[in-house]
């Protein structure tokens, strides 16, 4: 991996990705020939029908699952396992945080793996917590926080190691509507401030349009890219104004139509 | 000019003054033991049967026997064997449990053998070990360790197998090494189960300590009880039983206190998530 790669090399490249779960009776093809590029600094949402291989896509891109075929390239280097440049926020915040560690130690986990000295771990964890609005929660335990706060902790843990790409797997599917709106704005704010690249997987059409600069619509399983839409909404977004925008409604309808054509729709 | 009277307020004033909360539980917990001791005391008070001496006589013997140099001669050796055996079992059980629990191949290979050894009543090892390692402390420690090993080992295996998938993915994404994953995820995640195994092991270890000392021994609590029985020192024998009971109770309580501190996060988590077992 060299800094001076070809000029138009995307930061994240998914190339001919295929994932088959072997089974004695009938192998399950979750992803079939999926390709897309993400440029540095983009916010890309992946939306698709439930059970359509979205989570499989995230697991393969993050290096947690090996692809059956095809490649994932981060900065031109093949991703064959978890790499520091890719951080993940899982849907199940309650299960991904370690109940025996304080919030601060949970956030510092990626730094622990990199043998960062203790004092610096604490300092950087504290910064990441401040970035998600939890500057005072460092000494608490995750189970003492609300669901939305726990997911903020998971986001802090993902950004503490300064990853190139932030992968998010339906991170707000399990929180209430108000918390969800807050967290959506938080992720937008972090994305803009840190200039990182976000690949955000969701089954929620509104969310995908509201958050993303681009929306990739997946087909039903086996997943392929059905459409690649540019979200030409202004960068400044807010829950009321943006959602009332005519352009937002048009994009939302478009994504809805694409997914409806695939069969199962969740709204 | 009258104000409307609230009905809910005066009701409080009628309430009896309660004893402070910290005092309620110990008092309630001591109720039944106090009753049992009283019944024993009264029922045995006039006993002339040498096999069932009055409790008064037994307590006399208790003070004479256990608050003397007997403590050093019998109790200390017993406790040393017990502690060594338990320590050995915990170290081996947790280490092996972590390995077996995280390897499907190892589990498949070892499960039948583990099931056999677990089913084997540990006291049966006493004659075998007498031949192999002799009559000394090593035999007793080995018996205690063998008996305590299985609950610790099997509970550790269970705990490790129950490690959450998402938490494992989290460790991988964070880049934790295999060793760091054990230290920061697998071991703490399994620790409530390990503690459950330890509680079982504590009881088993105490039993095996007594049994191993009853067979061929020159000291220890088990030996003392048998020696008193054979020399018809029956109040002393009874006092030995009481001593063992108190010892077991105190050890279990001590473990509980330690567990509550070390696994405070586990109890907090259970309260927060509505106490799933």
DSSP chain B: --PPPPSHHHHHHHSPPPPPHHHHHHHHHHHHHHHHHHHHHHHHTT---TTS--HHHHHHHHHHHHTTTHIIIIIHHHHHHHHHHHHHHHHHHHHHHHHHHT-HHHHHHHHHHHHHHHHS-GGGHHHHHHHHH-SSHHHHHHHHHHHHHHHHHHHHHHHHHT--HHHHHHHHHHT--HHHHIIIIIHHHHHHHHHHHHHHHHHHHHHHHHHHHHHS-SSSHHHHHHHHHHTT-HHHHHHHHHHHHHHHHHHHHHHHHHHHHHTHHHHHHHHHTT---
Question: Residue A134's pLDDT band (boundaries 50, 70, 90)?
Answer: very high
Question: Alpha-carbon distance B217 to B210, whole Å?
Answer: 11
pLDDT for A264 beyond 60: no
pLDDT of res. A190: 93
pLDDT of res. A261: 80
Distance of CA B24 to the CA centre of its chain: 25
B174: nearest CB among A100, A110, A143:
A110
pLDDT for A84 beyond 70: yes
Query: Residue A33 class from Cβ within 10 Å (0-12 exposed, 13-18 middle, 19+ buried)?
Result: middle
pLDDT for A3 beyond 90: no
Establish if A238 belongs to a structural domain. yes
3-state secondary structure of A33: strand
pLDDT of res. B129: 83
Residue A109 with chain B: CB contacts under 8 Å: 170-171, 174, 176, 184
Exposure b/e, A239-258, CB count within 10 A at least 16 = b: eeeeeebeebeebbebbbeb
Question: Alpha-carbon distance A191 to A169, whole Å?
Answer: 16
pLDDT of res. B264: 92
Q: Mean pLDDT per segment of 10 residues, for chain B of length 277 residues? A: 49 60 76 90 88 90 87 90 96 95 91 87 84 85 93 94 93 93 95 95 94 87 90 91 93 94 92 67
Question: Residue A4's pLDDT band (boundaries 50, 70, 90)?
Answer: very low
- Proportion of chain A above pLDDT 90, given as a percent: 60
Establish if A2 belongs to a structural domain. no
Taking the model in full, what pTM does it have? 0.83
CB contact under 8 A, A143 and B269: yes
**CB of B273 less than 8 A from some CB of A:** yes
* Residue B225 and residue B241 in contact, taking contact as beta carbons nearer than 8 Å: yes
Chain B residue nearest residue A65, CA to CA: B169
Chain A residue nearest residue B174, CA to CA: A110
- The domain total for chain A is 1
**CB of B175 less than 8 A from some CB of A:** yes
**CB of B80 less than 8 A from some CB of A:** no
A157-180 tens-digit pLDDT? 999 999 999 999 999 888 888 999
Tokens of B226: 């048998």
Residues in Cβ contact with B217 at an 8 Å cutoff, skipping those fewer than 6 apart = B135, B140, B223
Of the candidates A258, A251, A86, A113, the one whose C-alpha atom is nearest the C-alpha of residue B171 is A113
pLDDT for A72 beyond 90: yes
pLDDT of res. A153: 96
pLDDT for A5 beyond 70: no
Chain A residue nearest residue B263, CA to CA: A100
B113-161 tens-digit pLDDT? 888 888 888 888 888 888 888 888 888 999 999 999 999 999 999 999 9
Establish if A92 belongs to a structural domain. no
* Residue B224 and residue B194 in contact, taking contact as beta carbons nearer than 8 Å: no
Tokens of A124: 């950087």
Establish if A90 belongs to a structural domain. no
Question: Alpha-carbon distance B99 to B206, whole Å?
Answer: 27
Tokens of A134: 């939890």
pLDDT of res. A95: 86
Residues in Cβ contact with B272 at an 8 Å cutoff, skipping those fewer than 6 apart = A143, A144
The structural domains of chain B, ordered by start, are 61-273 (1.10.3720.10)
Tokens of B212: 């191993």
pLDDT of res. A219: 86
Alpha helices in chain A (DSSP H): 54-61, 93-96, 103-107, 109-113, 118-131, 147-159, 177-194, 205-211, 239-244, 246-260
Establish if A170 belongs to a structural domain. yes
Query: Residue B97 class from Cβ within 10 Å (0-12 exposed, 13-18 middle, 19+ buried)?
Result: buried
CATH number at residue A198: 3.40.50.300
pLDDT of res. B101: 92
Q: Give the mean pLDDT of chain A.
A: 89
Question: Residue A267's pLDDT band (boundaries 50, 70, 90)?
Answer: very low
A98: nearest CB among B169, B185, B273:
B185
CB contact under 8 A, B273 and A112: no
**CB of A140 less than 8 A from some CB of B:** no
pLDDT of res. B22: 73
* Residue A77 and residue A1 in contact, taking contact as beta carbons nearer than 8 Å: yes
**CB of B179 less than 8 A from some CB of A:** no
Question: Residue A132's pLDDT band (boundaries 50, 70, 90)?
Answer: very high
Averaged pLDDT, A244-255: 91
Establish if A5 belongs to a structural domain. no
C-alpha distance from A248 to closest chain B C-alpha (Å): 34
* Interface ipTM > 0.85: yes
**Position with higher pLDDT, A31 vs B2:** A31
A99: nearest CB among B169, B174, B269:
B269
Establish if A176 belongs to a structural domain. yes
* Residue B226 and residue B214 in contact, taking contact as beta carbons nearer than 8 Å: yes
pLDDT for A1 beyond 50: no
pLDDT of res. B199: 94
Q: Give me the helix-helix angle, B104-119 and B137-161, nearest 10°.
A: 140
Domain that holds residue A46: 12-20+36-85+163-260
């Amino acid at each position: 991996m060299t800094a001076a790669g070809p000029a138009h090399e995307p930061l994240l490249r998914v190339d001919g990705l295929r994932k088959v779960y072997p089974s004695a009776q009938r192998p399950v093809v979750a992803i079939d020939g999926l390709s897309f590029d993400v440029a540095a600094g983009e916010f890309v949402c992946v939306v698709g029908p439930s059970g359509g291989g979205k989570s499989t896509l995230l697991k393969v891109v993050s290096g947690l699952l090996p692809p059956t075929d095809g490649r994932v390239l981060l900065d031109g280097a093949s991703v064959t396992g978890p790499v520091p440049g890719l951080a993940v926020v899982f849907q199940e915040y309650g299960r991904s945080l370690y109940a025996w560690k304080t919030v601060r130690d949970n956030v510092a986990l990626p730094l622990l793996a990199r043998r960062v000295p203790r004092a610096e771990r604490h300092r950087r964890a504290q910064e990441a917590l401040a970035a998600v609005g939890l500057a005072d929660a460092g000494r608490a335990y995750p189970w003492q926080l609300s669901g939305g706060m726990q997911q903020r902790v998971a986001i802090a843990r993902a950004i503490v190691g300064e990853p190139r790409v932030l992968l998010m797997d339906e991170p707000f599917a399990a929180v209430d509507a108000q918390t969800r709106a807050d967290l959506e704005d938080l992720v937008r704010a972090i994305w803009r401030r840190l200039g990182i690249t976000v690949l955000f997987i969701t089954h929620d059409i509104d969310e995908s349009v509201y958050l993303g600069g681009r929306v990739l619509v997946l087909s039903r399983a086996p997943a392929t890219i059905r459409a690649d839409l540019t979200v030409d909404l202004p960068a400044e977004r807010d829950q009321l104004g943006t959602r009332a925008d005519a352009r937002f409604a048009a994009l939302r309808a478009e994504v809805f139509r694409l997914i409806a054509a695939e069969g199962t729709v969740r709204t | 000019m009258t104000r409307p009277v609230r009905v809910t307020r005066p009701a409080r004033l009628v309430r009896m003054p309660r004893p402070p909360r910290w005092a309620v539980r110990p008092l309630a917990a001591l109720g039944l033991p106090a009753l049992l001791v009283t019944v024993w005391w009264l029922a045995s008070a006039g006993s002339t049967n040498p096999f069932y001496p009055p409790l008064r006589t037994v307590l006399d013997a208790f003070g004479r026997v256990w608050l003397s140099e007997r403590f050093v001669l019998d109790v200390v050796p017993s406790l040393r064997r017990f502690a060594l055996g338990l320590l050995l079992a915990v170290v081996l059980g947790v280490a092996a449990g972590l390995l077996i629990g995280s390897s499907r191949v190892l589990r498949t290979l070892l499960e039948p053998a583990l099931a056999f050894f677990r089913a084997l009543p540990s006291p049966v090892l006493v004659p075998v070990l007498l031949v192999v390692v002799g009559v000394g402390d090593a035999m007793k420690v080995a018996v205690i360790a063998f008996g305590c090993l299985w609950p610790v080992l099997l509970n550790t295996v269970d705990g490790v197998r129950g490690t959450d998938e998402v938490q494992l993915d989290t460790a991988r994404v964070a880049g934790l090494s295999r060793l760091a994953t054990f230290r920061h995820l697998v071991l703490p995640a399994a620790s409530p189960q390990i503690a459950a195994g330890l509680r079982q092991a504590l009881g088993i270890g105490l039993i095996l300590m007594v049994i191993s000392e009853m067979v061929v021994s020159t000291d220890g609590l088990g030996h003392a009880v048998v020696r008193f029985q054979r020399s018809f020192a029956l109040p002393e024998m009874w006092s030995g039983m009481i001593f063992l009971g108190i010892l077991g109770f105190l050890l279990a309580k001590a473990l509980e206190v330690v567990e509550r501190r070390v696994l405070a996060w586990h109890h907090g988590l259970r309260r927060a998530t509505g106490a799933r077992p």
